[in-house]
Amino acid sequence: MFLLVLTSSCSNKKCNCDIDSKSLIQKYQTKNETVILNTVEQGTYGDVIILKVCDNSNKVIEEIYLRGDEAKPKLDSIVRNNIYISYAYLSSTNKKKYFEIPFENIVLGDGLLNKNTLKFKYLFSGNYSKEM
């Protein structure tokens, strides 16, 4: 019941972009938007990352959910409507250092199901770093 209330109250995209400092991973500010990455623990399933794009009046423009179970995302840049996000993975054996990650491998929920209606284009990349 709580989820239904939360979903319906945010369906008009008028929700505030309040920052939860406990779960904040990154805040990225541009001239017109603020992008906030927060983590939500999902127990045994790992973490889910909530990415919110907000306008200057602190209203949500777009919200999508990302995988955060193996690595945490880092917002690298925003160029027009393209949002570039990278993931860093630990590996001692993989020789391929940088690679593109398909949208379908990262985005969860409504963002994945309704990707043609998103206002922004999300481009994901990954890199391997040596284990310590």
Distance CA 98, CA 42 (A): 28
Question: CA nearest 59: which of 14, 28, 118, 7?
Answer: 14
pLDDT in tens, the chain (132 residues): 333 333 334 544 446 788 888 899 999 999 999 999 999 988 777 889 999 999 999 999 999 999 998 889 999 999 999 999 999 888 767 666 789 999 999 999 999 999 999 999 999 999 887 764
**pTM for this prediction:** 0.81
